[in-house]
Structure formats: C-alpha cells, structure tokens
C-alpha cells in the first residue's frame, strides 16, 4: 500500500433519522467530524514475508488489515494485493447461526472462491483440525464460543491462501489448540506464504514475524526488523507505563548521597534493548555518583526481578553472592551481568539498589523500574540427533 | 484491492447466498416453501370477498380470484424482495466488515431467492389456471423477458434501498407505507386495459397509472396468464425503460456509496 490515508466520519451523537438531519441542516450544525485513522502510510510487503503490525489501541492496526483485505477502500492512496487472501479478522463471523457447520463451510468457501467440489474435499480436513468432525451437521448456534472460533481458524488456514491476515485472534480455544494454531502459522511461514499479523502479544510477534511495523496514531513510527522495532516500542511503552501503570508502580527512594546517575540495559552482544532471548545475558550498565566527599567502601549493589504485579522472583546483591563490594569516590561506572534460565517467558520488572547494610543506610532504590521482556525463541532444528545405535542379538 | 472476481466466482457466490437464504428461511418451518404460495392465496381470498361481496366491482371480471392471483404472485415477489433488500446490508454488517466480496451480491441474492419462489409459484399458477379453463397461448413465452426486466428493476430499487437504510433507518419504515400505496396504485386488483374490461373509468387516470413502474409487468401477467392474449405495446415500453433506468441508477449509486457504507456499518 502506498501513501494510504483513511478517514472515518466520526459522529458525535449521530443523527440516524431524517428528521434529525433536517434539523441539523436548518441549524447548520453538523455533528460530523473527520477522523484520520491512517495518515500517509506506505507499506510494501514482498511475498513470503511475515510482518507484524504493533501499536497501542486506536493506532490504526486493524484499519490497515482491513485495507489490505480489500474491505475498506483508502480515502486517498492505493492498496494493491495479489493472490488469495484468507483473513482471520473476526473468526467465524461469516457463519450463519441456523446453518450447520458444513453448510456454513460451503458458503464461506464460495466467498473465498472455492467451488463446491473443491470445498467438499476440504471439509473433512477442516473439521478434523477444528476437532469438530462429530458436529458438522449441527447448526452452529449450538456451538460453544470456542468451537465457533476453532472452526473459523481451521477454515481460514485450510483453504490454502497465499496471504494470511490475522487480527489478534490467536487466543483460540484451549492451550492445546493454541499450540496447533501456532504450529500451523509456522508451517505457513515455512511454505513461503505471506503473513500479516496484528497483535498486542509481543511474544507472539517475536515468535512469528521477522519484520515489524509500529503504528502510532495512524502513522508509521518504525518499520524494520522485529527486534529493533520491538525494543523501540517497549522503551516507549515503558516510559508510558511509568506514568499510568495499574500494576506495580515504579518506586524510587533513598538518601541519594550516592545515586544512580544513569542506567542502561543491553544484551550480551552489546545492543541496548529491553528484550532478551534465552541465552542472552542481561547487562545493567550504571554510572553511580556520590556527593560524600570521602571515599565510601562496602557499598552493596543489588538487583531484583519481579513479576508485572510486583511479586518478587529474584532478589540478590554482591554481598550475598560473595562478590566484591563497591568503593566510591565521586563517580564510578559499574555493571552487573545477569544470566537467567527462562522458565516462563514474559514481561518482568527489574529493580536496582545501592545500600550499606552495615551502616543501615539506603542510598538509592529504584524498584519495579525497568521493564524487561524475556522471550523464548523457536529453535531450528528443534532436535539434533546425537546418537543412534542398531543392535542385533 | 483483492483477488480477482470473475463471472464464475460471482455465480458461485450468488448461488451460495441464495441457497443459504432458502435454507435459513425454511429451517424449522413445517409448511416451508408452501408459504410463498399460501400468502398470496390468503390475500386472494380476502380481496376476493372485499371486492365481490362488499365493493362489488370484481363481479365484472370472470374468475376474479384467478385474476387476483396472477397479479398477487408477482407483487408478493416485488414487495418481499424490496423489504428483504432494504435490510440486507445492515443484517450482514459483520460479514461485510470481515471479508471482501462484491457487496452488490447481498441485495441481488435476496431478489434471486425470491425469484426462485416466484418461478415455482408461477408453475403452480399455470396449473390452477388450466384447471379452470384459462389455457395459455403462445404469448406465454413472453414471461421470460418480462421476468428478466422485472428482476432488473427490483434489483435496482433494492440496491438504492439497502444503501439508503444504512444512512437512515427511516427507509425501512417508509418502504412499508410506500408499498401499501404502491399496491393500490398498481393494476393488481383491477385491470387497466389488458383484458378488455374497463374498471378504471377515467382515461386520464389510466394514462397516469401507466407511469407506475410495475404497471407494465402486471398488465403483461394479466394478458399472458389470465387472458391468454398478447400484451399491449405500452407495457413493454414502460417496463423496459423503467428497468434499465432503475438498474443503472441502483448500480451507480451503490458503487459510489459502497466505500462509505462499509465504514458506516
């Protein structure tokens, strides 16, 4: 899509009857305002790319997908695509409640351009993947929400599209089914199909996509490799989270006789980031300053890692770990390198502290201060053969 | 935009939408399709009594009930189609917002589903007429072009209504009133000049009523089914021009409004 603009008409107390329109006409009081959902957005996606679109609510992510799916026509600019598009914009909405699963699949197949016979041949596979083979002749109004979604996902991914558009719908069914969904999307990637994916789930983004577009208020903020864009996005998000966090709020206290003047996070490759993969070291680089004129010995430098709700997971310091304590005169650069085994990927909060337990002094605490996202990467190949032995007795 | 929509794909889509429509309508219904025939039959009985026993003008027309039926069947098609098309876009808003397809197919499919009913009902009508001695002439072949023209016109009006109803819900209310007036302004319970019975006495009024877009078709129905004669020429001129004009306007307006409507839903 090139230079795409899209305006919505935003109604303030919208007039839906003729009488109201007439009155508005006479009063010359128009209650319509244009809202620009996309503002000069250009994205060029090559076949075989998997692209994630991220951004806060109302940034224009879903609108972008709808334009790519051909549902919206841009107010200005052009959007072109080629190949069969399957969209998971709203799972299963093409389904009519009174029709059976099979009848609905036939209808949806026609919408996607699949002939009767082609579709008939695919139905067992779709039903099987959705684990609904027994319910294909039941009207879908008797389906549970999960069944509905499963059928929708199964349909969209079985019809062999060239382009798959996904809008935040991977929370389908139970954990087992979600795993199957991810696997299927991975397969799509490996078959060289194009995937465009909107999500708030940054872990899924980093798993599934190699390119990420970050939208902010209808404009492209960043477009590039998933890692770069995600860390940029997280930095901005954490800056905002400091202001409006509903969970653990960052806290800072202490006498500040000795204080953290600057703190930077980077991974073991030296790249500044807030996202760490399995095997990456987390390195905290600090500049510590002191206003105490004399040299201060035995300063304890600690860190803690908490879940997003504030629950402490790890908390330790150089005293506890039998490592050299700090001695400060004026200014000092100090860093901690942390190696973690990631059991549960997710976003955590990192806190650091400077204390002197012997003199029972708290110099500077920054608790829940630095959000870090720990991700687990898919390994390729996932297994390696170390040995195989054939024996004959 | 999205992948190509060729003729075969459109046909497939229409076929599926019509099948869906028919299936949905008759799920859990005992009489099912018979309702399409029963509704006009019931109205026929009502009008028959009103206009032969109370108002008594129907007495001038032999087999008045059969005459009524020839007009009521296509009227039922026309009015059901317009009511259904009016809400066709609103009813399918989630579908429209989740997948791309030519949205014109929605109102068109509503009309097509009703057309299937009409075709079946006409077969039954012809059987009833033969039983009562109204044998068809060669003119019956003209029903085909007449139906094509009527369908074109209905689709055209339906498209306008479906778009209008997205912006103003008043359209749905308004169309009900309009259809009531339209019914009496059409030669359904009375003939104009197709069967040689003069009921509308004022020639000026007859001339005015001929401008009604459905007058032409109703008179064609009366001529070929009820009277077994060739329809007057004015019927074809009226029906033909209205059909092309209304279909053209319908499609142009729909095309123009479509991108706005999708966001409006």
Indicate which of B1, B5, B259 best probes the interface with A, i.e. most A CBs within 10 Å of its own CB: B1
The yes-or-no answer to whether A2-234 and A251-375 have a common fold is no
CATH architecture of A2-234: 3-Layer(aba) Sandwich (3.40)
Q: B98 vs A93: CB contact, 8 Å cut-off?
A: yes
Measured between beta carbons, the chain A residues lying within 8 angstroms of B1 are 70, 73, 79-81
Contact B164, B249 (CB under 8 A): no
Q: Name the interface residues of B facing A (CB cutoff 8 Å).
A: 1-3, 5, 9, 12-13, 15-17, 19-20, 23-24, 27, 94-101, 168-170, 258-260, 262-264
What's the rounded mean pLDDT across residues B46-60? 80
More confident: A30 or A253: A253
- Domain residue ranges in chain B: 7-264
More confident: B247 or A161: B247
CATH of A251-375, one of 2.60.120.10, 3.40.50.10890, 2.40.40.20, 2.70.50.60: 2.70.50.60
pLDDT tens for residues A283-308? 999 999 888 888 888 889 999 888 87
Measured between beta carbons, the chain A residues lying within 8 angstroms of B259 are 72-73
Numbers of helices and strands, H then E, in chain A: 8, 19
Percentage of residues in chain A with pLDDT exceeding 70? Answer: 85
What's the rounded Cα separation, in Å, for the pair A70 and A98? 28
Which pLDDT belongs to residue A241?
57
Which pLDDT belongs to residue A246?
46
- Domain residue ranges in chain A: 2-234, 251-375
What's the rounded mean pLDDT across residues A236-250? 62
Q: B2 vs A9: CB contact, 8 Å cut-off?
A: no
Flag whether pLDDT at B263 surpasses 70. yes
What's the rounded mean pLDDT across residues A39-47? 81
Measured between beta carbons, the chain B residues lying within 8 angstroms of A116 are 12
pLDDT tens for residues B170-197? 899 999 999 999 999 999 988 887 676 7
What's the rounded Cα separation, in Å, for the pair A182 and B48? 67
3-state DSSP assignment of residue B150: helix
What's the rounded mean pLDDT across residues B64-70? 88
| Cβ atoms < 10 Å from Cβ of B83 | 18
DSSP assignments along A2-51, one per residue: EEEEEEEEEESS---SHHHHHHHHHHT---EEEEEEEEEE-----TT-EE
Which pLDDT belongs to residue B145?
95
Alpha helices in chain B (DSSP H): 7-26, 34-49, 64-86, 88-91, 93-96, 105-131, 143-167, 170-184, 203-209, 215-221, 233-264
Contacts of A46 (CB under 8 A, 6+ apart): A194
Q: Name the interface residues of A facing B (CB cutoff 8 Å).
A: 8-9, 16-18, 21, 66, 69-73, 79-85, 87, 89-90, 93-94, 96, 98-99, 103, 106-107, 109-113, 115-116, 139
Contact B120, B73 (CB under 8 A): no
């Amino acid at each position: 899509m090139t230079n795409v603009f899209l305006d919505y008409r935003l109604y303030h107390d919208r007039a839906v009857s003729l009488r109201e329109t007439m009155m508005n006409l006479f009063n010359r009081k128009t209650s319509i305002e244009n809202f620009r959902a996309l503002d000069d957005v250009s994205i060029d996606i090559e076949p075989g790319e998997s692209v994630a679109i991220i951004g806060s609510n109302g940034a224009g992510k879903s609108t972008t997908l709808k334009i790519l799916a051909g549902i919206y026509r841009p107010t200005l600019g052009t959007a072109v695509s080629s190949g069969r598009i399957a969209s998971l914009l709203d799972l299963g909405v093409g389904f009519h409640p009174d029709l059976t699963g099979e009848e609905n699949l036939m209808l949806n197949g026609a919408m996607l351009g699949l002939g009767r016979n082609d579709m008939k041949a695919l139905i067992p596979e779709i039903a099987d993947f959705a684990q609904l083979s027994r319910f294909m002749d039941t009207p879908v109004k008797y389906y549970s929400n999960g069944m509905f979604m499963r059928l929708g996902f199964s349909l969209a991914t079985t019809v062999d599209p060239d382009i798959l558009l996904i809008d935040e719908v991977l929370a389908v069914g139970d954990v087992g089914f979600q795993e199957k969904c991810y696997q299927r999307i991975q397969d799509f990637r490996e078959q060289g199909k194009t995937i465009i994916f909107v999500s708030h789930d940054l872990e899924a983004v980093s798993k599934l996509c190699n390119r990420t577009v970050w939208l902010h208020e209808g404009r492209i903020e960043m477009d590039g490799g998933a890692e770069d864009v995600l860390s940029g996005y997280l930095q901005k998000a954490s800056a905002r989270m400091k202001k409006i966090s509903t969970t653990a709020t960052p806290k800072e206290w202490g006498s500040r006789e000795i204080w953290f003047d600057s703190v930077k996070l980077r991974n073991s490759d030296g790249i500044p980031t807030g996202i760490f993969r399995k095997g990456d070291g987390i390195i905290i680089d600090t500049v510590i300053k002191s206003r105490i004129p004399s040299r201060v010995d035995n300063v304890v430098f600690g860190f803690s890692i908490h879940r997003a709700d504030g629950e402490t997971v790890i908390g330790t310091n150089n005293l506890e770990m039998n490592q050299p304590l700090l001695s400060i005169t004026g200014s000092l650069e100090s860093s901690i390198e942390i190696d973690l085994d990631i059991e549960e990927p997710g976003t955590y909060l990192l806190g650091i502290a400077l204390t002197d337990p012997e003199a029972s002094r708290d110099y500077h605490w920054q608790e829940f201060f630095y959000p870090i996202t720990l991700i687990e990467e898919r390994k390729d190949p996932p297994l390696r053969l170390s040995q195989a032995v054939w024996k004959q007795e | 935009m999205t992948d190509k929509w060729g003729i075969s794909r459109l046909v497939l889509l229409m076929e599926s939408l019509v099948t869906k429509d028919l299936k949905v309508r008759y799920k859990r219904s005992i009489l099912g399709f018979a309702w399409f025939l029963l509704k006009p039959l019931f109205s026929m009985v009502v009008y028959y009594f009103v206009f032969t026993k109370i108002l008594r003008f129907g007495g001038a027309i032999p087999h008045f009930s059969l005459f009524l039926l020839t007009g009521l069947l296509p009227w039922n098609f026309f009015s059901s189609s317009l009511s259904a098309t009016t809400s066709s876009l609103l009813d399918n808003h989630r579908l429209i917002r989740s997948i791309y397809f030519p949205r014109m197919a929605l109102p068109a499919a509503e009309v097509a589903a009703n057309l299937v009913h009409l075709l079946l009902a006409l077969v039954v009508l012809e059987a009833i007429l033969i039983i009562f001695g109204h044998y068809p002439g060669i003119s019956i072949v003209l029903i085909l072009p007449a139906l094509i023209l009527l369908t074109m016109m209905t689709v055209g009006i339906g498209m306008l209504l479906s778009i209008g109803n997205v912006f103003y819900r008043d359209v749905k209310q308004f169309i009900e009133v309009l259809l009531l007036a339209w019914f009496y302004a059409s030669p359904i319970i009375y003939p104009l000049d197709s069967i040689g019975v003069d009921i509308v006495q004022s020639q000026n009024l007859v001339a005015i009523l001929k401008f009604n877009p459905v007058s032409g078709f109703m008179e064609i129905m009366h001529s070929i089914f009820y009277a077994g004669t060739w329809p007057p020429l004015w019927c074809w001129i009226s029906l033909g021009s209205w059909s092309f004009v209304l279909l053209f306007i319908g499609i142009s307006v729909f095309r123009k409004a479509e991108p706005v409507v999708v966001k409006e839903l």
